[in-house]
């Protein structure tokens, strides 16, 4: 096996050229893992004969796009035929969409995102009168964890040991029934359904193994048990499986990720070759040294010894502030000073542990006149008007979707929750066809005159659009639905700035539909809506503004100048982690934040938070750092603070 190894160091070259079979690449922060993953995928693709291909799996759409672009440069125009690239959810969606009948759905099934799932759960709790003791968020978290471990409602009920757990089990069962009635799956179902397909149809499993002769997985430390189960079934007993990850960057336990997957990889696959990439090419020696000292306190047994031969650079700065408001003002002053010195705003980031910490910082940045972006903020497909349009479009291809009907009908003047409930109740007489029920609203019991006319007009308009769906085309359907449902007219009549923003979002979706129709195959409405649902992460890397984001959202990004605020006990490590005994993951979260910085790293903490005295985070000491005098650009620090520092 040969590879283009120009520019690779010895360890990277070893990882790229390793023979087939199970391969574990332990890639430390800034070690060039994306380059290695790309070269490895290209090398495997060149070696594979016949019609088989390589499957490369990432965790975000942005990472998948970057990998596709790099592979296209290495393999040429035929890259997409030789390497399939996608996220876990995207690949599993394709698999399930190709065989929906085997998991009890139609080819037009809907995908519910996290917000839609919580809405369904909230309705379930209200109907079952469980809303006084359970919240939709709590139940959603429990269901996500259960599905991450492939535990169905019956299995959850069997494990329920308390009254509250039995209530969650009841809500889980009702939620699953609602999904089935609506011909829908949620995000977590895509993984579980793909596992079930491979389990229940050995012939299908053999065909997929033959189709993908080699599998590569990025950020393997973030996989959950369901993802691991799917990979195991896809690869077989002795898989040609390459996994890349870093146990020190395992920070998604709350999403169901299990760091044990990467720690136990060698034990599950005897004969695994392990290659460690420890050289950091991203950061200065001062930053690498501090992060390495912090990481050395991790209890895991597969740490990568991180090192660099880069210049030392500026020392890592640590400073204390009176409270979170003063800390926020100083963060804004720091950003403004960097910009005044000519630093590009896109190379500056302020990182926080919780979203609540961002509020005073946002206020301070606005007062300082510093333009910023909130990474992980609401994306196009999450705006209210777009969700309204998506609900209407969903009904055109899946008229059984109860959640979509509820949202779509709520956009119509004079139609309230009572009328919607009556329509849903009457749909039983139409075999669950909600559009047919709306179009014949005169037969819905106890539906008032004005409401009946509005529901009927809505149902007939969408029924006509659904009838000509195949002939009209995707872009035309989206545009006509905006008009037929009155979404655009009502927003235009409001005339507010918010309404104009919502109208602009609708236009963007219509343009996206036009682009999708030109480029995608097949360009069906069902596939377009699925693509929108799966577009969970929003790539804003070219946005030239100062970045404000949580440490979790910062994973995978990097900046020249990084400031981490709130490094005190109770914030980082967070008080919940201290109570639950998960300080190790908080340490890894701080490590991830520190390794985002290329040239300058500043750590700050408030002596008081919400009026309560705090202590500096233990992670500052573990990194071998101590508070020092404020940097020259920390103007405005008072005399008492300088003395204390």
Residues noted as catalytic: 33-34, 218-219, 249, 596
Residue that has been written with the tokens 């050229």 in this structure: 17
**What is the C-alpha separation between 389 and 411, in angstroms, rounded?**
10
CB atoms within 10 A of CB 86: 19
| Tokens read off for 56 | 């490369």
Of 105, 188, 184, the closest CA to residue 143 belongs to: 188
Contact (Cβ atoms closer than 8 angstroms) between residue 97 and residue 530: yes
**What is the C-alpha separation between 554 and 557, in angstroms, rounded?**
6
| Tokens read off for 206 | 């053999």
Contact (Cβ atoms closer than 8 angstroms) between residue 323 and residue 282: no
* DSSP for residue 407: H
Of 244, 206, 233, the closest CA to residue 57 belongs to: 244
Per DSSP, the residues of 233-249 read HHH-SS--EEEEE-GGG
Contact (Cβ atoms closer than 8 angstroms) between residue 47 and residue 1: yes
Dihedral, CA of residue 59, residue 63, residue 69 and residue 72, to nearest 10? -30
**What is the C-alpha separation between 8 and 194, in angstroms, rounded?**
37
| Tokens read off for 504 | 């602009």
* Length, in residues, of the chain: 645
Contact (Cβ atoms closer than 8 angstroms) between residue 397 and residue 529: yes
SS3 call for 184:
strand
Residue 623, φ and ψ in degrees, nearest 5: -85, 5
**What is the C-alpha separation between 71 and 456, in angstroms, rounded?**
52
Cα–Cα distance list, 25 to 99, 238, 344 (Å)? 33, 17, 34
**What is the C-alpha separation between 143 and 152, in angstroms, rounded?**
9
**What is the C-alpha separation between 36 and 14, in angstroms, rounded?**
10
Contact (Cβ atoms closer than 8 angstroms) between residue 178 and residue 207: no
- Helix or strand (DSSP H, E) at 600: strand 597-609
* DSSP for residue 21: S
**What is the C-alpha separation between 225 and 223, in angstroms, rounded?**
7
CB atoms within 10 A of CB 579: 8
| Tokens read off for 121 | 């759960």
**What is the C-alpha separation between 21 and 405, in angstroms, rounded?**
49
Contact (Cβ atoms closer than 8 angstroms) between residue 540 and residue 60: no
Strands (E), 382-466: none
Vertex 61: Cα angle to 58 and 64 (nearest 5): 50
């Amino acid at each position: 096996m040969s590879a283009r190894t120009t520019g690779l160091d010895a360890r990277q070259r070893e990882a790229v050229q390793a023979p087939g079979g199970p391969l574990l690449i332990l890639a430390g922060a800034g070690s060039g893992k994306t380059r290695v993953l790309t070269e490895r995928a290209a090398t495997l693709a060149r070696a594979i004969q016949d019609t088989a291909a390589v499957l490369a799996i990432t965790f975000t759409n942005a990472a998948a796009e970057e990998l596709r672009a790099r592979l296209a440069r290495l393999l040429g125009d035929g890259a997409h035929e030789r390497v399939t690239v996608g996220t876990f959810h995207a690949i599993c969606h394709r698999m399930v969409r190709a065989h929906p009948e085997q998991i009890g759905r139609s080819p037009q099934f809907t995908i519910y995102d996290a917000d839609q799932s919580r809405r369904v759960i909230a309705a379930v709790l209200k109907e079952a009168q469980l809303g006084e003791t359970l919240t939709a968020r709590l139940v959603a978290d429990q269901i996500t964890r259960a599905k991450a471990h492939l535990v169905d409602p019956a299995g959850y009920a069997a494990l329920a040991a308390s009254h509250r757990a039995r209530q969650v089990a009841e809500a889980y069962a009702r939620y699953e029934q609602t999904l089935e009635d609506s011909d829908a799956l949620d995000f977590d179902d895509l993984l579980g359904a793909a596992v079930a397909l491979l389990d229940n149809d050995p012939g299908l499993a053999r065909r997929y193994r033959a189709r993908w002769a080699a599998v590569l997985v990025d950020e393997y430390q973030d996989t959950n048990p369901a993802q691991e189960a799917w990979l195991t079934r896809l690869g077989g007993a002795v898989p040609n499986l390459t996994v890349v990850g870093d146990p020190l960057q395992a920070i998604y336990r709350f999403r169901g990720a299990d760091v044990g997957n990467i720690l136990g990889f060698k034990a599950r696959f005897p004969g695994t070759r392990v290659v460690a990439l420890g050289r950091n090419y991203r950061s200065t020696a001062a930053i690498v040294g501090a992060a390495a000292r912090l990481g050395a306190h991790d209890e895991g047994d597969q740490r990568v010894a991180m090192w660099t031969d880069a210049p030392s650079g500026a020392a890592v700065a640590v400073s204390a502030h009176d409270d979170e408001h003063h800390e926020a003002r100083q963060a804004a002053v720091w950003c403004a000073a960097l910009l005044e010195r000519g630093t590009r705003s896109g190379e500056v980031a302020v990182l926080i542990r919780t979203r609540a910490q961002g509020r005073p910082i946002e206020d301070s940045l606005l007062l300082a006149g510093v333009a910023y972006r909130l990474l992980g903020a609401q994306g196009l497909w999450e705006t209210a008007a777009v969700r309204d349009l998506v609900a209407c479009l969903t009904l055109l291809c899946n008229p059984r979707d109860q959640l979509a009907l509820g949202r779509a009908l709520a956009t119509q003047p004079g139609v309230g929750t009572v009328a919607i409930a009556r329509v849903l109740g009457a749909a039983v007489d139409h075999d669950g066809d909600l559009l047919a029920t709306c179009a014949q609203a005169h037969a819905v019991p106890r539906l008032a005159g004005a409401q009946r006319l509005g529901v009927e007009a809505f149902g007939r308009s969408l029924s006509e659009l659904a009838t000509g769906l195949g002939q009209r085309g995707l872009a035309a359907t989206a545009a006509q639905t905006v008009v037929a449902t009155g979404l655009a007219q009502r927003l235009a009549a409001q005339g507010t700035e918010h309404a104009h923003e919502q109208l602009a979002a609708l236009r963007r979706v219509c343009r996206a539909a036009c682009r999708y129709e030109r480029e995608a195959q097949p360009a069906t409405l069902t596939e377009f809506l699925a693509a929108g649902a799966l577009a969970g992460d929003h790539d804003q890397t070219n946005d030239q503004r100062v970045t404000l984001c949580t440490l979790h959202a910062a994973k995978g990004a990097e900046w020249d100048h990084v400031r981490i605020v709130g490094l005190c006990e109770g914030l980082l490590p967070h008080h919940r982690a201290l109570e639950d005994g998960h300080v190790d993951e908080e340490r890894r979260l701080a490590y991830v934040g520190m390794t985002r910085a290329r040239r300058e790293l500043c750590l700050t903490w408030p002596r008081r938070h919400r009026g309560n005295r705090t202590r500096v985070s233990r992670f500052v000491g573990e990194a071998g750092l101590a508070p020092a005098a404020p940097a020259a650009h920390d103007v405005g620090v008072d005399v008492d603070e300088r003395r204390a520092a």
